[in-house]
Each structure stands twice: as C-alpha cells, then as structure tokens.
Chains A and B, each alone.
Chain A
C-alpha cells in the first residue's frame, strides 16, 4: 500500500533561519511527487512536481529535491509570509487516478 510520511509535524523558525521539510514515501513505482502549500481555510496551492530521483526544482526561497525514498523541501532564509502547511503527495501505478497525501508540516516563521 502506498504511504507518505511527512516530518516534522510542526516547525517554528526565526525569520532568516533556513531549514528542510522531509517527505518519505513508499510506493510501487513513483509516477510523480507533488508539493503543495496550504494556508488556513484555503485550497492547496501547487508548488512543485518531481518525477525522477535526482531531480530538483526551485522557486524563490524554496527548493525541492527527490531521491528514491524521500523528498526534501528546503526553505532558505524564510520570511513570515512563508508560514503555512506544506503538503506532499504521490501518484503511482497502484493509485493511478489519485494522489496519496501526507499529513503535512505546519511551518511558522517568526520575525
């Protein structure tokens, strides 16, 4: 059964303090790994899609990387507006038409 585990559950950072969020997955053949950001009461906002080990994507202060077992979302010099819940999801041949989500990492960045 496909599974996604995110850690830590919650993370508090000082503004400018870089860190990484982890997404570990167990799937029967990864078709895609997706990172989303979700603000309270809103729908998830797409950040990155990664398809193969070694792939990296960057957007502003965020960088996503992928290995055969996990993905990292690196946040460099975060700002308070980066505060949100970050969700990781996978798609696999076993679950062709759906995404399996992790429970997310709630990030708070303090000035």
Chain B
C-alpha cells in the first residue's frame, strides 16, 4: 500500500511570496494533519482535517491555512512568507484522527530567502 506522499519535496521562496504544499494520504485515511518542524521548536501542530472540515488548529498566525478535498488530499498555504517560515513541513494521515497511529510523509523542505 502506498504511503503518504508530499509535493514538492523542496522549495525555495523569497520573503513576501506565498506557497502551496500538497499532501496525498494513505488510501482509506480520512484524517490529515500538518506539522512544522524546525531545529529550535521541534514538531509543532498546524492543523488537522477530517472529511473536508478543519477540526483543530495550532498556534500559528492566519497566514497559515489549509484545506482538504473530497478525496482526502490536502493542501496547506502560507501567504506573505517570512524568513522564520523556513522549515520541514510534514503531513500525516490516519483513518480517523490523532488518537490512533498517524503515518508521516517525507516532508516538504521550505527555504525562505
């Protein structure tokens, strides 16, 4: 069974630009979560989607947004990029939520210059 896939794998942007990252969950999984990983803060929760609805959101500014489509694929968008947004963005999927095992994708490495 195919794992979680994320595109693109690497991205370089400049301050002020916006970016969209994509995540395809494991087949049959309806919950998709996004995390930001930085050396200083570790893994921080961004938001979680289930059946196209955002159920929870972490402590990130409104520049970070996401959505989920009817096929459970998810996208996250970051507008007006800042240098501090440079990070590894990870997507994880599960059947119904974080109370069960979440499987992570390889991540998208974003560098903001």
Contact = CB atoms under 8 A, between A and B. Distances in A.
A94 to B, nearest CB: 11
A102 B37 CA distance: 12
A97 to B, nearest CB: 4
Interface string A87-106: 10101000111111111100
A97 B97 contact: yes
Given A43-B107, A44-B90, A103-B42, A98 B101 contact: no
Contacts, number: 68
A72 interface: no
B43 A101 contact: yes
Contacts of A49: 100-101
Contacts of A97: 31, 33, 48, 50, 55-56, 97-98
A101 B43 CA distance: 6
Instruction: Tell me if B's interface is mostly helix, strand, loop or mixed.
Output: strand
Number of contact residues on B: which range applies?
Answer: 20 to 34
B105 interface: yes
Interface of B: 4, 6, 31, 33, 35, 42-43, 45, 48, 50, 55-56, 58, 88, 90, 92, 97-107, 109
Given A43-B90, A44-B43, 5 more contacts: A41-B107, A44-B104, A91-B99, A97-B48, A99-B98
27 contacts: A32-B100, A32-B101, A34-B101, A34-B102, A43-B6, A43-B104, A43-B105, A43-B106, A44-B43, A44-B90, A44-B104, A49-B100, A49-B101, A87-B43, A91-B98, A95-B45, A95-B56, A95-B98, A97-B31, A97-B55, A97-B56, A97-B98, A99-B33, A99-B98, A99-B102, A100-B45, A101-B42
